[in-house]
Amino acid sequence: MKHTEDELIAAAAEVRERAYAPYSNFKVGAAVETEDGKIYTGCNVESASDGLTVCGERVAIWKGISRGETKFSRVAVVVDTEELTPPCGVCRQIIWEFCGDVPVILSNLHGKSETVQMSELLPRAFDSKFLK
């Protein structure tokens, strides 16, 4: 069963509340939807050693991968900012690697949202075709 955009945003907003962000106080929630309609969520988890921090988008994708999912159809990212905030560069690469050119829904806690294609966020992406 496919979910509405609002349902995907709600799942990301809900998991955002569980983010562990004591250093930046920048909480992120993400949700990925599989082609058959399952939703996997993730939130950012910070570490005192900043390089060990993990973003919500990667947590959500890796949860799906760990459950055997390989085909994702959409991603939603929710943050508490006025300006809609796209995924960081590392997450853009991971989204491209595991989801491809999917729609990415950017949303905030003020009801604003915008959908952009992954290819807009990461033009000329590096992927496995270059490794052959």
CA angle 33, 109, 81 (to 5 degrees): 105
Q: State yes or no: is 57 an active-site residue.
A: yes
Structure tokens at 94: 């991971």
Write down the catalytic residue from 17, 33, 35, 57: 57
Q: How many CB atoms lie within 10 A of CB 103?
A: 17
Pull the structure tokens for residue 60. 């959500």
Active site residues: 57
